[in-house]
Amino acid sequence: VVLPAAAAARAADAVDYAAVRADIAAVLEDDSHDDGSYGPIFVRLAWHACGTYDKASDTGGSDGAYIRFAPEAVDGANNGLSKARARLEAVKAQHPNISYADLYQLAGVVAIAEMGGPDIPFRPGRTDAAPGSGGQPGRLPDAAQGASHLRDIFYRMGFNDQQIVALSGAHALGRCHRTSSGFDGPWTRAPTSFTNEYYRLLLEEPWVRTSERGVPDQYWDKKRELMMLPSDITLVQDAKMRVWVEKYAADEELFFRDFADAFRQLQELGCKRLSTAPVGADAAGGGSTATKSWWKSLFG
């Protein structure tokens, strides 16, 4: 893998985040992996590293990068994520001063932007824990469950119904694999493009639940080309959540804004030593005028 920004990297005790972003972008594309991009699995890695947070006990979250080793690495919900961690080793080798915890989260941010999604403010400062020092397995959502389970999981982290639906929009990306989750297939027809298509499909397709021996139930479209999980379908079955599905299906700009805000919050759960200002797309000169205005409103 060629990392074009490596030569422009950091001073001895600093991290050049613009260079790290460029090098993450350089390892995204790979025709031999799924739909030609590691972007979706980088987003999944970032989300799963954060999704263990518990507000009541203030435990879990992305700080520590516990997802690198047992017990989190071997949690069934994290099956397949070793591929994402391995892919990012080339970036870590060129930027040894960035923590794995920051690298995994920045990889998710870069992947979303590179696949056409919003620029998400990223604040570094996470540190890496030692193997065997902790981890919170068993706290991630079970895709076979419904609204009550989703609320248990996301309310535990401090989110509300609107944010549950916004974060679920990441299912515009990637696909499920029998060997990882037991489910199979992509959610959308463009699994490497970040759009609001996921919501439109939820509302427009006549989803049919199927049961097959030895695998969990899931939903297929009429051509059996696209799938939805039971946890996806519950978003349109639950009246309070459906309101937001309809809003995001009709307004991609609203979805992008709400997703970016919720994903930023997700990434920072439990993190106590983050920088006061974001680094990344805006620091490197990127981002739209509207995005820059939003960043300023968040961080001054």
Catalytic positions are 48, 187
DSSP string, the chain: ---TTGGG---TT---HHHHHHHHHHTTB-TTSTTTBSHHHHHHHHHHHHTT-BTTTTB-SSTB-GGGSTTTTTSGGGTTTHHHHHHTHHHHHH-TTS-HHHHHHHHHHHHHHHTT-----B-----BPPTTS---TT-S--TT--HHHHHHHHHHHT--HHHHHHHHGGGGS-EE-TTTTS--EESSS-TTS-SSHHHHHHHHS--EEEEETTEEEEEE-TTSS-EE-HHHHHHHHSHHHHHHHHHHHH-HHHHHHHHHHHHHHHHHTT--S--SS-BSTTTTT-S-HHHHHHHHHHH-
